Structure 1
Amino acid sequence: MGDVISATTRFERVGGKRAQFFSKAHILLEQAHTYRGEGDLLLALEMSYQSALRTAGAVVAGSAVAARKRKPKSAWDQLQLVGDEAAEWAAELSQFSTIRSRASSGLDITLSVAGLDRFMARVALFLEEAQHGFSPSVDAA
């Protein structure tokens, strides 16, 4: 007897990938808060940045950009193609790419507790807004 394949299977995979990205983003942000509480600012920065990347991945996975054959390699560049608000988030959060890269390379960076807290708060807001859908009137800056 032949196998019955649901017509919605293809769409569940996309939703599943998006859900996986969101799940990972939450876990990474929780880890960032743990490291922040322990006073490890560099690991808190890394986990927060990784959370933002997973959130960007989730947004892209749920958009038409995911189906494009030729798309940018950078998650931030892909996010810019999703829409105006997503592009604003990409512009803001991608600024931390250099700081994060320098920190992971062991180079000196200027990272205050207040600056890290602001970044973590922005990542948390990005994650929340991405999960609930962006509203056209929200200013991400």
Structure 2
Amino acid sequence: MKAHRAAFTLIESLLAVSMAAAVMLTLLALLPAGLDATRESAQRNAMARIFARLRQQCAASTISGDFYFDALGRPLTSRTVDATFAARVLPATNVAMPGDASTTMRSISIVISTQMLDDPFANANHLRAQRLLLAPLTSGGGS
């Protein structure tokens, strides 16, 4: 009697290896797109934190000028190497409400730059802006 060994043929092995290689190449091709999406999502989250922080500060007091933030949206005391975002709060202007000229609101613009160059606000492609309408500050509310 002849002993029969169960084994894969060369063609079956070649097919299995080529299918595994095709799957691995597909996964490697998708890796850069996934990394870009993750980076953009982190950047959007940081910008949302920056806008929220500046909105809160503008509602509580009168602020304007440039502010710097790290990659996570945490405030920095000055423009340092860690600065990833620059934000500019433009001075508030009073705006009359339509239909009721006696009621005025403060109009504030917040601009965030995602590029830290010599002048972060020079390239409009890297700017995100929000305009806010806030209630006027009361006499004890700000400086």
- Give the helix-richer structure, 1 or 2: 1
- Give the strand-richer structure, 1 or 2: 2
What TM-score, normalized to structure 2?
A: 0.34
What TM-score, normalized to structure 1?
A: 0.35
Q: Which of structures 1 and 2 has the larger relative contact order (alpha carbons within 8 angstroms, sep 6+)?
A: 1
Point out the structure with max Rg over C-alpha: 2
